[in-house]
Structure 1
Amino acid sequence: MECGNFVGVLQHLNASHLYACGSFAFHPRDAFLDADTLAMTRLPAVRGRCPFSPWQRSTALVADGELFTAVMADFKGVTPLIARHFSKGGRPDVSQESSPILLEEADFVGSALDAAERKVFFFFNEVAKEFNVHEEQHVARVARVCQDDVGGVQILQKKWTSLVKTTLRCLPPFAVLRDIFALPLPPEDGETTHTLFYAVFSSQWSLRPESAVCAFRLASLREAFAGPYRHFDAHTHLWSPLPAKSSYFGQCGLEGASHSKLEEVKRTFLTDGHVAPEQNGPLLVSTHHRYSRVAVMSVRAADGRRYQLLFLLTETGILHKVFLSSRGPRVIEEIAVLERGDHVTALALSASKGVAFVASWGGVTAVPVAQCSTHRSCGRCLLARDPLCGWSRSRKMCARLDQEREREKAKDQEPGQEERMVQLLEGGDVAKACHGEGGNPPVKNVVAGVNEVVRLWCYKPWESCTLKWTSSRIRDLLPRLFIQSGDGSLTFLANADTLDEYHCQAEEDGYTETVASYKVIASARPRSMRPGAGAENDWTTIGVGSTSSPPQVLCERRSYEGRLAGVALVLTTCICFLVSVAILACVRRKSANCHEGTSSYTQDDKKHDKVSEPRVELRQLPDKQHLTNTPS
């Protein structure tokens, strides 16, 4: 990987050519590509068009055939550079002045174009020096340059004279910018341009995964760059606010400015204020996920109102689809896109294809922006709160709004047919809106023996609902008889008190929908209570449902009597085996001791026996005949 060629910049330069630049084993090379044949025309090596290392983030955009880049321009990655390349109209290429205070350890994140004012924004993080604190504090910045800047005459030749920067402030301590997305919107309140910048922030001091999302208006950025500004003192290395606004800081057309004015421009490029977020606070704060990429889609709902959908990608490769409503943010979908350890490089949306593209070092993954068909009932479709989906009364299904609109246009239906698509994005009476559409699932029979464990499964039909079990005979499912697990399943022992019909219901905002229904019935009596009955299996697993789809019901029947008999038999066998082993070991131990005592009997022991043993004198007795012939 260290010697690979990673593409850092790929842009449409014009209608006929693409521009590509890659790391080329830490020696960047670039080329023009024909848009039709992809024929390559190599360019001479130029510093500052793409980074040396694939680990260094960079940003680039093309405006009127000119390339604007913000990269690390050296091998070590310590020299940030904002530059314009392929300048037109005889203008020279320009870059920023080589002052170290202009960009303090910058980490570039993104860029955007203000076409109305012909200005370019660059978003990045850097170390803030204006606070005069001992510990380095990282802050989010946005820099702005004029698209037609050509530099000065006497000083700042081929350097930016319009480069200024300001601070993006979301919510303390979320100050580090992770990603940004520019969303153009239709004009509002007479504005000619209405653009929102959605940004993801994290904290440099947080040890747990957390992040915040803020939105900034283009008008707020323009207002911040209007001033006032701070002035840098080269002798004290301190920043001090200027007393009044200036008419030329950050302005275009300073190529003919005087020497003294350009000297003032070199030391005054940081605004004294900051850019405040929309609604003066974050749109979303997550204390469990650290987001690394963001993309936003503007959607027109069935009632004509526009809503925003956020697509947030976590560092672990999970894509969150978040709906921004007046009631607050709502995660309506969560998709695991990448494997752990894969490095995310980009997130992009394609409105025409209806997919979100997630790019990583392992490849590119396409994820549908909406999966309306997974909501199989009217209530589930409406409670998903997805502005891309709606319930079609004519087709009795949850469908994409844009696809239904195209379908109605193709059929040339009369106006008003679009009202058949039902949505409740801001809340409402779901039962009334659905008119009883959807129905209840069929009741499934579960056969269980006495004192057998029964487990009834139930799954959440949508993420934000809560599951509740009810019984037709038992009003309250007592904890001493029933166990409701975190996965929604219900477990209990089958007996005379629990043989009943059970219903799993999903609830949200006063709406209740039955997800699954079971009827637990008793099986035949055990063999001991029914003479002549055949033996039954101790373990039985029953799956209810077709084999072509995942089973929705799984009942485990466990006979405790059979299991106890089996355990007793195994325990008896083990005890007999252990006793046999002990007896055999004892016999072998005694035999070994006897053999050892015999072999250790030595000659010294024999001598000792001769000395110590008592003397016994044996005399031969006369035979019986001799004794009779001898006189007394």
Structure 2
Amino acid sequence: MGSPGRRLSFFSSHDVGNTTTLLLSEDGERLYVGARDAVLALDVSHKDTVLLKSKLDWSPSEKDLEECSMKGKKMADCPNFIRVLQFLNSTHMYACGTFAFSPRCTYINSETLTMSLNTVEGRGRCPYDPYQRNTAIIVDGELYTGTVADYRGNRPVISRHLSEGSRVDLKLDDTLGWLEDPTFISSSFIPHEEKIYFFFSEVGREFNFIDKFIVSRVSQICMSDVGGQRTLQRRWTTFAKAQLLCQAGSELPYNVIQDIDMLPPAEGAPADDTLFYGIFTSQWAVNSGRSAVCSFSLTEIKSVFSGNYKVLNRDRLQWSARVQDKVANPGECGLHNASDNALRFVKENFLAEDSVRPVGRGLTLVSAEHTYSHLTVQRVQAANKKLYTVLFLLTEAGHLHKAVLLQSGPYIIEEVQVFKPPQPIRSLKLSIPKGMIYVGTSEGVVRIPTANCSYYWTCAQCVLSQDPFCGWDPVSRACVEVSDTQTALSQDIDGGNVEEACNSITLTHRTKFEPSKLPTASCPAGEPVSVSLNEVVRLHCPAASQLSKQLWVRPNSRLSSDLYLHLEDGSISFVATPATLGHYLCLSTENGYRQTMAIYHVKQKNNPMAQTPPDYAHLHTRAQPTTQTVARPGLHTSVRVVPKTTELRPAETKPSLSIRNTQVTTRQLDKNLTFQVKESGNTEAEFPDGKPLLAARCPSYLKELVVVSVLLVLCLSLLITITLYVLRQHCQRRTAPATGAPSRDSDRRTPEEQEALGENQFVNKYNGQAPLGGHAHGLICNGNLTASTQNLPNTPF
């Protein structure tokens, strides 16, 4: 949100919250939102903004709120939370809300957003509790719901409403235990089968060796079902359910379903190629915090429902496999005309014996770091006319992952931080015609584009993203969205091979700059980094993406681990010495492709003592921008920090003989600096104004050698002087006459007292004043200096 290159639009209002239900028009121009005490109509036809077109207030009265509070409910849970919002026909919608724990339903004009005068009771159509999950779908003017039908939430039901003519409303038989404390997730309509599939999780009573073992289910009902004539009157005769098994090999299954979405078959493919992608978590501690995505085919689901069914022994309350012949086929449409014996058989045999296993008998995607809560899926045609499946996964931390499913496995293209701080996700909706994703939260609605190809600024980055939505256009030299009108786009979704995809395109000078092409006669140009000896230097390396690896190299040198510290963010740190001065290159490698991200030239500052300035000024401090956001492809937007630096200019600083405080210098490459590699081998750096910067020469250490030699001569001279002085004093003491007899006081002291007195006199002679004045320099040099001055221990003069 707010990053450059991202067109994230956010709608919020002070009186709008808990956008739990989203409904998108067929043309994608309008988004209807079911929120707390309101239904909204948002205009999403504009590119960069989401506008409120109209709003319908639908809230309980003060009397309803008082009755809700008297029932022991919190006032925060008593408003009307819209939980059902479906198109009834071309002109009206059907909406239901919790309405202060007394569900109500109504008809709403989709154009004017006006509500009918009369509302009806919503029991069995909408949950009482706003925290209970439900599902609803309208097909041919009839409402199919999965929810609870009582105030306490103990009567789960799958039912049909709004039936007309000879058709009657149906529901499950409450006394048969067809559902065991379910949590409804979603429902889908399969047109060619005329069936409605419900997805939910419940307690698996067939696993009696484990207490409250949660299993994921898929159930089906036929739209043509009208109930039995004598047995199962006004009850489903085609209800059947089976277990969804999201499991890899012999590992423990991911048994709790969180969300599921249907992917229709490709154009020209059979209808049985319909796939269902679901998010699953585990109730086992070994898989705690992990999420898995599994896909199930409609062919597999139909095969399981057409197989054998288990039977429940109601005396022992145990499930077993039936061995005798089947009287009827449970789940088969048209059983409402069957005999009472056949209806009694399907009444007790509604659990399929086999489980629905995932496509490929394995997990589509598994994440040990992120907990996914919602997903949506889309089939995309790449530039080579090949179809790819793209998953959009929302994490509980407020991140959107876009992943493409390849033969080698799932590949996460990018990660978008939708919310900061994280917010509870209420709903997720995909608009394929508009290429947008809508996320409903407790505070509003966020619109995210499914593709943002301008985010990649080179052919290499566009190809490395392996995004089927994007391809590199050699004509406009830009990464553009794939369409039917564009041809000859550079793209490699399966391999991400930059050399093959961009072989006909001239790469930028920056990506062509390789360490092997460095001239040997002179050092290459780079961003100058002026340091002093014994100063801690830190060089930053911008990452091309989170999937890339960063590598530091030096021309004709090796980075020893004894001298260099490689940090987690990819930067490198070292102490400036004559051996560490020179040039450094930061390389980014990804999928076998290498590119240069930064070049630095670390050199020593000019010695201020070697100059004689006419006057002296105070210390000059120059402040630079503290943060800069760089839009780079990958999972995150890279943020580079250029800290404030304090520079000692030679012409403005007084020469001083005091010990210099060790400083930490941090540098990072300016994004406006580009590099040119000429065929002759000479390297130049060019700034935005077009003035070239001559190649820097290799550093010279003649001045340092002269200074060290002078200091050595001075030290030897001082040592010789002190030695001569000590010898002279010694000779004088030997030739000096005696000063006479000791005094009376001294005679009274014992020899031990006289010796102690001599030692005290020697100590008192230098008490508080060390030789050469103050504390000895050697004590400061070898001591541990405070961290506030950023000094290193054992720093020499």
Q: TM-score range by the shorter chain?
A: 0.7 to 0.9
Q: Which of these residues, 215, 222, 231, is aligned with residue 146 of structure 1?
A: 222
Unaligned runs of 5+ in 2: 1-75, 512-524, 632-638, 649-657, 664-773, 776-797
In the alignment, the residues of structure 1 paired with residue 225 and residue 500 of structure 2 have an alpha-carbon distance, to the nearest angstrom, of 61
Choose 450-459 or 219-228, whichever is displaced more: 450-459
Q: Which of these residues, 236, 260, 263, is aligned with residue 316 of structure 2?
A: 236
In the alignment, the residues of structure 1 paired with residue 357 and residue 300 of structure 2 have an alpha-carbon distance, to the nearest angstrom, of 7
Q: Which of these residues, 362, 372, 378, is aligned with residue 453 of structure 2?
A: 372
Unaligned runs of 5+ in 1: 410-416, 566-571, 574-632
Q: Decide whether the 8 Å contact of 1:321 with 1:331 is kept in 2.
A: yes
Greater strand content: 1
Q: Decide whether the 8 Å contact of 2:88 with 2:138 is kept in 1.
A: yes
In the alignment, the residues of structure 1 paired with residue 265 and residue 210 of structure 2 have an alpha-carbon distance, to the nearest angstrom, of 42
Structure 1 residue 496, shift from structure 2 partner: 2.2
In the alignment, the residues of structure 1 paired with residue 87 and residue 224 of structure 2 have an alpha-carbon distance, to the nearest angstrom, of 20
In the alignment, the residues of structure 1 paired with residue 600 and residue 626 of structure 2 have an alpha-carbon distance, to the nearest angstrom, of 10
Answer yes or no: is 1:205 the counterpart of 2:287.
Answer: no
The secondary structure found in structure 2 opposite 1:451 is coil
Name the residue aligned to 1:430.
498
Q: Which of these residues, 545, 564, 580, is aligned with residue 462 of structure 1?
A: 545
Name the residue aligned to 1:594.
none
Structure 1 residue 191, shift from structure 2 partner: 2.2
In the alignment, the residues of structure 2 paired with residue 203 and residue 288 of structure 1 have an alpha-carbon distance, to the nearest angstrom, of 14
Q: Decide whether the 8 Å contact of 2:470 with 2:480 is kept in 1.
A: yes
Could you give the per-residue CA deviations for residues 62-82 of structure 1, whole angstroms, max 9, x where no partner exists? 111111000111111121110
Answer yes or no: is 1:279 the counterpart of 2:347.
Answer: no
Name the residue aligned to 2:660.
562
Q: Decide whether the 8 Å contact of 1:453 with 1:556 is kept in 2.
A: no
Q: Which of these residues, 218, 229, 232, is aligned with residue 156 of structure 1?
A: 232
In the alignment, the residues of structure 2 paired with residue 395 and residue 341 of structure 1 have an alpha-carbon distance, to the nearest angstrom, of 39
Amino acid at match of 1:444: E
Name the residue aligned to 2:102.
27
Could you give the per-residue CA deviations for residues 66-99 of structure 1, whole angstroms, max 9, x where no partner exists? 1100011111112111011111343111111112
Answer yes or no: is 1:300 the counterpart of 2:376.
Answer: no
The secondary structure found in structure 1 opposite 2:354 is strand
Structure 1 residue 309, shift from structure 2 partner: 0.9
In the alignment, the residues of structure 2 paired with residue 548 and residue 65 of structure 1 have an alpha-carbon distance, to the nearest angstrom, of 52
Name the residue aligned to 1:393.
474
| Residues 199/134 of structure 1: CA separation in 2 closer, same or farther (3 Å cut) | closer
Name the residue aligned to 2:565.
483
Q: Decide whether the 8 Å contact of 1:454 with 1:556 is kept in 2.
A: no
Q: Decide whether the 8 Å contact of 1:454 with 1:557 is kept in 2.
A: no
Structure 1 residue 545, shift from structure 2 partner: 11
In the alignment, the residues of structure 2 paired with residue 453 and residue 68 of structure 1 have an alpha-carbon distance, to the nearest angstrom, of 69
Structure 1 residue 539, shift from structure 2 partner: 7.4
RCO higher in 1 or 2 (8 Å CA, sep ≥ 6)?
A: 2
Structure 1 residue 268, shift from structure 2 partner: 0.8
In the alignment, the residues of structure 1 paired with residue 496 and residue 108 of structure 2 have an alpha-carbon distance, to the nearest angstrom, of 54
Choose 431-440 or 329-338, whichever is displaced more: 431-440
| Residues 8/548 of structure 1: CA separation in 2 closer, same or farther (3 Å cut) | closer
Name the residue aligned to 1:7.
82
In the alignment, the residues of structure 2 paired with residue 255 and residue 296 of structure 1 have an alpha-carbon distance, to the nearest angstrom, of 36
In the alignment, the residues of structure 1 paired with residue 90 and residue 243 of structure 2 have an alpha-carbon distance, to the nearest angstrom, of 36
Q: Which of these residues, 155, 160, 168, is aligned with residue 79 of structure 1?
A: 155
In the alignment, the residues of structure 1 paired with residue 599 and residue 644 of structure 2 have an alpha-carbon distance, to the nearest angstrom, of 13
What are the residue-to-residue correspondences of 1:446-461 with 2, within 5 Å?
A: 446-461=529-544
Structure 1 residue 523, shift from structure 2 partner: 2.0
Name the residue aligned to 1:68.
144
| Residues 245/485 of structure 1: CA separation in 2 closer, same or farther (3 Å cut) | farther
In the alignment, the residues of structure 2 paired with residue 463 and residue 564 of structure 1 have an alpha-carbon distance, to the nearest angstrom, of 34
Q: Decide whether the 8 Å contact of 2:306 with 2:329 is kept in 1.
A: no
Name the residue aligned to 1:525.
607
Structure 1 residue 166, shift from structure 2 partner: 0.5
Structure 1 residue 433, shift from structure 2 partner: 2.6
Q: Decide whether the 8 Å contact of 1:469 with 1:505 is kept in 2.
A: yes
Amino acid at match of 2:476: R
Answer yes or no: is 1:127 the counterpart of 2:203.
Answer: yes
Structure 1 residue 453, shift from structure 2 partner: 2.6
Q: Decide whether the 8 Å contact of 2:257 with 2:280 is kept in 1.
A: yes
In the alignment, the residues of structure 2 paired with residue 209 and residue 548 of structure 1 have an alpha-carbon distance, to the nearest angstrom, of 32
| Residues 260/516 of structure 1: CA separation in 2 closer, same or farther (3 Å cut) | same
In the alignment, the residues of structure 1 paired with residue 569 and residue 192 of structure 2 have an alpha-carbon distance, to the nearest angstrom, of 54
Name the residue aligned to 2:257.
177
Answer yes or no: is 1:353 the counterpart of 2:434.
Answer: yes
| Residues 508/150 of structure 1: CA separation in 2 closer, same or farther (3 Å cut) | same
Structure 1 residue 333, shift from structure 2 partner: 1.0
In the alignment, the residues of structure 1 paired with residue 181 and residue 166 of structure 2 have an alpha-carbon distance, to the nearest angstrom, of 33
Choose 517-526 or 352-361, whichever is displaced more: 517-526
The secondary structure found in structure 2 opposite 1:185 is coil
The secondary structure found in structure 1 opposite 2:132 is coil
Could you give the per-residue CA deviations for residues 574-602 of structure 1, whole angstroms, max 9, x where no partner exists? xxxxxxxxxxxxxxxxxxxxxxxxxxxxx
| Residues 394/556 of structure 1: CA separation in 2 closer, same or farther (3 Å cut) | same
Could you give the per-residue CA deviations for residues 381-403 of structure 1, whole angstroms, max 9, x where no partner exists? 1111111111111111112113x
Percent identical: 37
The secondary structure found in structure 2 opposite 1:39 is coil
In the alignment, the residues of structure 2 paired with residue 370 and residue 143 of structure 1 have an alpha-carbon distance, to the nearest angstrom, of 35
Q: Which of these residues, 449, 463, 474, is aligned with residue 382 of structure 1?
A: 463
In the alignment, the residues of structure 2 paired with residue 316 and residue 174 of structure 1 have an alpha-carbon distance, to the nearest angstrom, of 20
Q: Which of these residues, 492, 508, 528, is aligned with residue 574 of structure 2?
A: 492
Amino acid at match of 1:240: S
Structure 1 residue 50, shift from structure 2 partner: 0.8
Structure 1 residue 159, shift from structure 2 partner: 0.7
Q: Decide whether the 8 Å contact of 1:181 with 1:198 is kept in 2.
A: yes
Could you give the per-residue CA deviations for residues 91-146 of structure 1, whole angstroms, max 9, x where no partner exists? 11111111252100111011111111101000000101112224210000011000
In the alignment, the residues of structure 2 paired with residue 193 and residue 27 of structure 1 have an alpha-carbon distance, to the nearest angstrom, of 41
Aligned Cα root-mean-square deviation (Å): 2.7
In the alignment, the residues of structure 2 paired with residue 261 and residue 288 of structure 1 have an alpha-carbon distance, to the nearest angstrom, of 50
Amino acid at match of 2:541: C
In the alignment, the residues of structure 1 paired with residue 533 and residue 624 of structure 2 have an alpha-carbon distance, to the nearest angstrom, of 16
| Residues 208/256 of structure 1: CA separation in 2 closer, same or farther (3 Å cut) | closer
The secondary structure found in structure 2 opposite 1:250 is coil
The secondary structure found in structure 1 opposite 2:337 is coil
In the alignment, the residues of structure 1 paired with residue 555 and residue 625 of structure 2 have an alpha-carbon distance, to the nearest angstrom, of 23
In the alignment, the residues of structure 2 paired with residue 452 and residue 186 of structure 1 have an alpha-carbon distance, to the nearest angstrom, of 63
Answer yes or no: is 1:165 the counterpart of 2:244.
Answer: no
Amino acid at match of 1:153: Q
Q: Decide whether the 8 Å contact of 1:227 with 1:246 is kept in 2.
A: no
What are the residue-to-residue correspondences of 1:591-602 with 2, within 5 Å?
A: none
Choose 388-397 or 450-459, whichever is displaced more: 450-459
In the alignment, the residues of structure 1 paired with residue 629 and residue 295 of structure 2 have an alpha-carbon distance, to the nearest angstrom, of 49
Give the TM-score, by structure 1 length.
Answer: 0.82
Q: Decide whether the 8 Å contact of 1:307 with 1:387 is kept in 2.
A: yes
Q: Decide whether the 8 Å contact of 1:384 with 1:462 is kept in 2.
A: no
Structure 1 residue 55, shift from structure 2 partner: 0.6
| Residues 470/191 of structure 1: CA separation in 2 closer, same or farther (3 Å cut) | same
Give the TM-score, by structure 2 length.
Answer: 0.65
Q: Decide whether the 8 Å contact of 1:84 with 1:95 is kept in 2.
A: yes
Amino acid at match of 2:113: L
Q: Decide whether the 8 Å contact of 2:259 with 2:278 is kept in 1.
A: yes
Name the residue aligned to 2:722.
none
Name the larger-Rg structure.
Answer: 1
Q: Which of these residues, 120, 141, 151, is aligned with residue 44 of structure 1?
A: 120
Q: Decide whether the 8 Å contact of 1:457 with 1:552 is kept in 2.
A: no
